[in-house]
Amino acid sequence: MLVVLRLRLLGVLLAIGMAGLSVASLAQDKETVLKNRQETMKEQGKDVGAVKAFLDGKGDLAQAKTGAANLTQTTKKIPDLFPPGTGGPNPTGDYVAKPAIWSDWNKFLEAQKTAAAKADALLVAVNSGDKAAIEAAFNDLGKNGCGACHTTFREKIEK
Ligand code: HEC
């Protein structure tokens, strides 16, 4: 009897210990997710900047090409940057990932696919070297790609 009780107690203790562990690793995971997300978004900011620099006559076409090519890759990775349970304010950033990302996941995916298509179009324009075409594709990506998603799914942290 006593042995059975002891075993049960051991089982309970083990279960509690394991739950504690998985909570700790979940927290660790969220931290990693938020860090990767922020790094990727910042990287996109830099890549957009490389195209902008070319348009402003401050950067060369080769760098604009690299930036645009990177954007076609990073915009496709966005869904992986937002696993469920990783909403809320980014502790090292200025933004909140809104709950609508997960409650309206299809709409979020639509916004991501739109941005990815516009990044593809920007790369085509940059590769053509035609400045007017690059400018049009650049503005379209900024406003209707990155900007549209940010307006709906991102919020500035009030500090
Ligand atoms: C499908 C939605 C979506 C698209 C498309 C998107 N973003 Fe974001 N972006 C977000 C969300 C949500 C956040 C806030 C996430 C966070 O802070 O953890 C964010 C945050 C950012 C940040 C702030 C990072 C920081 O913490 O300093 C930058 C910069 C950024 N995005 C740039 C871009 C650029 C440039 C593009 C287009 C090439 C883009 N994003 C496309 C959803 C998107």
- The residue ranges of every structural domain in the chain are 2-156
Question: Long-range contact list for 62-66, CB < 8 A, 24+ apart?
Answer: 64/126, 64/134, 65/123, 65/126, 65/127
Task: From 41, 103, 118, give the residue whose CB has the most ligand 1 atoms within 8 Å, as the site to mutate.
Answer: 41
Place of tokens 């957009």: 48
Closest C-alpha residue for ligand 1 atom 36: 146
Residue 54's nearest CA partner among 6, 125, 102 is 125
Please tell me the CATH code under which domain 2-156 is placed: 1.20.120.10
Task: Please state the φ and ψ torsions of residue 88, each to the nearest 5 degrees.
Answer: 95, 180
pLDDT in tens, 17-29: 555 555 566 666 9
pTM, two decimals, is 0.87
pLDDT in tens, 54-109: 999 999 999 999 999 999 999 999 999 999 999 999 999 999 999 999 999 999 99
